[in-house]
Structure 1
Amino acid sequence: MTPIPSNLAAERRAEQLGTDVTIFHPAVHPESPEIDVSHPSLILVFGWMDAPISPLRKYVQAYDTVYPTATVVVVKSHASFFLTGTKAREAALQPLYDVLMSRLYDVKKTPSGGLLIHVLSNGGAFQLMVLHDMLQRPALDTDPNSPLEFPIALIIDSAPGENEYTSMLASFTASMRNPVVRIAAKISLSLAYGIYAIITTMLGMRPVFQDLRAFLAQPGLLPGADKNTPRVYFYSEVDKMVSYKAIESHLAQVAALGFKVRVEKFSGSQHVSHSRKDGDRYWAAVKETWSEAAKGRARAHL
């Protein structure tokens, strides 16, 4: 674990755990009497595709104010996800898996606090889906009948989409300013996607967005989560990356399944920009969602 520079706060220490995983340690010692047990002890921030670390750090900075004693782990995602195999995806998230196993899912320890999951866009949701699959592995030295109890809450910002082709184009070309370069890239990507679609169809594979939407519509996103795990969704009608209709169809599905869901529909804010549009509203919803989780502690079974 190699320390990396951090301009978030003088006291907070950041460590790079892997290519895509950075952990930001709180300034307050975990056993300090200043710890508020009603706050989450661990926050996972799953970034949108190809998000630089700088804007992701702003979410950590916000959590410095909201939950200053929490450990925050930032997970990056990349557009190459669509072209990467399962082993490579899981290898990138192995450090995160290790943190979760040592902090929350070790039955030899009593977990303190709880887990707040903050998903940003489809890229973040894809990484959460990979983590879920990893946590289905049989854990060493654990008793499947031994419960671990801690609260869990889920924040989903600007997701899920439903069309992998349009999402792929948007993800790969979002940063391209030159219109000629963007058009050329879209042509190349369209050809590549056509080949990818033919291969996956021949292999009987489901579209990745279909898998993502099915994943987010299940209660056990991580061990300990269920239908009563509080969720809040942030989105807007003007989002050019993810259609609000795709999100609202998902919301209708999870509501019909009886999930505990809060909806924050913003006006005029673009993709993953809702916290900048109205930070007070955004972070108030985050805090209230966590408070709901803290009131009814979830039970995790490994």
Structure 2
Amino acid sequence: MHRREEPSLPVSQSSSHLGKLGEGIHISHGEKTSVFKRPEVGGYSAVVIIFGWMAAPLQLLEKYAAEHRLCWPSADIVMVQAQPPFMWWTDEQRRNLMRPLADYLVRTVYSQGRSNGILLHVLSNGGGFHLIALSQVLHTLVPSQPALEPIRLAMVLDSVPGNGEYASINHFFVNSTPKPPLAKAVLTLAAAMIHSGIQIKRFASGQKPLFQTLHAGLRAPDLLPATDPHAPRVYMYSAVDSMVHAASVEDHIENLKKAVPWLDIAVEKFVDSQHVRHEKSDPVRYWQAVRGVWDRSLGTVRAKL
């Protein structure tokens, strides 16, 4: 497959032109007068939510947003930055952080009929943690009874879910960038102390482990309330990812198939790309999979009507 050059960011997609829904939650509004040109989209408009990996700079998330904008000019695109303190916050603090995004979805998708849809683009465990917090908030705001016409939903899960909190912390502090041996030794000790502190705090407060909550949330057919329980998803992961191992993602997929056998699950296993580098490794394959899962979500909605 031929690689293509990474697109330059459109002027409308630069940081200075982004709106802000809340702390670390940015939005680029779509061209509301435009009409989808691709007939298979069927007139649906979308909200794309990009959940970034831990400490991902906004400029990198904007590159993903720029690709989504090329696909869906009229979509609102939300970028959620994940910050490391989220790991040791209380569940209430995490939900409060996601409340502005939940309020926005209630005002738009949930209050304007079912012609809208949601495309979730989740990057790494950090993105997954934020998605679960959003799910928890939305379930307190939206009635839980099944909708007569479910909201269209599709999910892109890139380098998620992992199965170890310590591995995530250690990767962020120790292995995310090259470091001298002495610095790595000191940071490895610091990562172990931080992980121990998180565990003690969580045990004292009676909160469930983050990774247990992440896996359970991704298995839930009502991850977002009133959305299509048959919503398709695609898992992007790699055989050589040193942070989220392929076995973790594959075990999750197998358990998911057993728990929710009717789900439409696609898999894109890359050979030699590292953590959240799959798009850079093979952008053509990557974005074909993203467009494909969104197109399949239209088919699941039509089948229910």
Question: What's the TM-score once normalised by structure 2's chain length?
Answer: 0.86
Counterpart residue type for residue 277 of structure 2: S
Give the drift of 1:64: 1.8
Q: Summarize the Cα distance change of 1:159–1:217 in structure 2 as closer, same or farther, 3 Å threshold.
A: same
Residue by residue, what CA displacement relative to the aligned partner does 1:173-202 show, whole Å, maximum 9, x if unpaired?
344533322321210221232243344345
Residue by residue, what CA displacement relative to the aligned partner does 1:98-147 show, whole Å, maximum 9, x if unpaired?
210111112xx3243311111000000000000000011144xx795764
Aligned ranges 1:283-298 → 2 under 5 Å: 283-297=287-301
Confirm or deny that 1:136 pairs with 2:145.
no
Paired position in structure 2 for 1:165:
166
The SS at the match of 2:156 is strand
Confirm or deny that 1:274 pairs with 2:278.
yes
Separation in structure 2 between the aligned mates of residue 221 and residue 277 of structure 1, nearest angstrom:
30
Q: Summarize the Cα distance change of 1:150–1:299 in structure 2 as closer, same or farther, 3 Å threshold.
A: farther
The SS at the match of 1:242 is coil
Separation in structure 2 between the aligned mates of residue 34 and residue 246 of structure 1, nearest angstrom:
37
Confirm or deny that 1:255 pairs with 2:257.
yes
Contact 1:225–1:298, Cα closer than 8 Å, also in 2: no
Paired position in structure 2 for 1:93:
98
The SS at the match of 1:216 is helix
Paired position in structure 1 for 2:122:
119
Contact 1:81–1:89, Cα closer than 8 Å, also in 2: yes
Separation in structure 2 between the aligned mates of residue 117 and residue 233 of structure 1, nearest angstrom:
12
Contact 2:150–2:228, Cα closer than 8 Å, also in 1: no
Partner of residue 222 from structure 1, selected from 209, 219, 224 = 224
Give the drift of 1:281: 0.8
Counterpart residue type for residue 102 of structure 1: R
Paired position in structure 1 for 2:54:
49
Aligned ranges 1:70-89 → 2 under 5 Å: 70-89=75-94
Separation in structure 1 between the aligned mates of residue 45 and residue 173 of structure 2, nearest angstrom:
34
Give the drift of 1:204: 4.8
- Structure 2 spans left out of the alignment, 5+ residues: 1-7
Confirm or deny that 1:23 pairs with 2:27.
yes
Greater Cα shift, 179-188 or 68-77: 179-188
Separation in structure 2 between the aligned mates of residue 34 and residue 193 of structure 1, nearest angstrom:
47
Q: Summarize the Cα distance change of 1:20–1:294 in structure 2 as closer, same or farther, 3 Å threshold.
A: same
Q: Summarize the Cα distance change of 1:110–1:200 in structure 2 as closer, same or farther, 3 Å threshold.
A: closer
Counterpart residue type for residue 121 of structure 1: S
Paired position in structure 2 for 1:67:
72
Q: Summarize the Cα distance change of 1:226–1:256 in structure 2 as closer, same or farther, 3 Å threshold.
A: farther
Give the drift of 1:274: 0.8
Greater Cα shift, 66-75 or 120-129: 66-75
Confirm or deny that 1:10 pairs with 2:7.
no
Give the drift of 1:54: 1.0
Identity, % of aligned pairs? 32
Partner of residue 182 from structure 1, selected from 184, 206, 211 = 184
- Would you say how many aligned residue pairs link Structure 1 and Structure 2? 288
Separation in structure 2 between the aligned mates of residue 220 and residue 128 of structure 1, nearest angstrom:
13
Q: Summarize the Cα distance change of 1:189–1:10 in structure 2 as closer, same or farther, 3 Å threshold.
A: closer
Residue by residue, what CA displacement relative to the aligned partner does 1:70-102 show, whole Å, maximum 9, x if unpaired?
110000111211211233222322221121011
Confirm or deny that 1:193 pairs with 2:198.
no
Question: What's the TM-score once normalised by structure 1's chain length?
Answer: 0.86
Give the drift of 1:223: 1.4
Residue by residue, what CA displacement relative to the aligned partner does 1:6-50 show, whole Å, maximum 9, x if unpaired?
x83134542122221000112x22x44567653542100000011
Q: Summarize the Cα distance change of 1:203–1:114 in structure 2 as closer, same or farther, 3 Å threshold.
A: closer
Contact 1:50–1:76, Cα closer than 8 Å, also in 2: yes
Greater Cα shift, 129-138 or 39-48: 39-48
Separation in structure 1 between the aligned mates of residue 128 and residue 191 of structure 2, nearest angstrom:
22
Separation in structure 1 between the aligned mates of residue 10 and residue 243 of structure 2, nearest angstrom:
32
Give the drift of 1:168: 1.4
